[in-house]
Amino acid sequence: MQDEKQFEQLMLLYTQLKNGAEDIARMIDDEAYDSALTMLNSREQIFINCKNMRRYLDLTPVQQKEADKIVEEIRELELNNIKKLEKGMAEVQAELVKSQKSQKIQQAYDANPDAQGSILNLQE
């Protein structure tokens, strides 16, 4: 009976992690990176609790299968979140390089012609 209650608590924690991963995915899509980072940091203790509970809990084969299924779902969600972040970082890096090149060109050819004198040969 005690193991059943602990298993239910474990599944509740796993569900909480899964819902959190889905929320983080939405935050990444909305570019709310600060909120996503805050949520990621707050989930660390839940992961530790799940790991400890799983280590000391004797699961039946059915419970093991159910727990493994939700863990795999969480893993997939987390991997998708990582891929989204990596893609976003690559896009930001590309924009940064583009901006730096544009700035170099503007500095090299100073885009303000009024600030420079010009020589005009009127004799020809």
pLDDT tens column, 23-37: 999 999 998 988 988
This prediction has a pTM of: 0.73
Question: CA end-to-end span of the chain, whole Å?
Answer: 105
Q: Are 78 and 18 in contact (CB under 8 A)?
A: no
What does the alpha-carbon distance between residue 84 and residue 90 come to, in Å, rounded to a whole number? 10
Confidence (pLDDT) at 105: 81
The string of pLDDT tens digits covering residues 48-92 is 999 999 888 888 999 999 999 999 999 999 999 999 989 988 988
Q: Are 21 and 72 in contact (CB under 8 A)?
A: no
What does the alpha-carbon distance between residue 71 and residue 41 come to, in Å, rounded to a whole number? 19
Query: Model confidence at 117, in pLDDT bands (50, 70, 90)?
Result: low
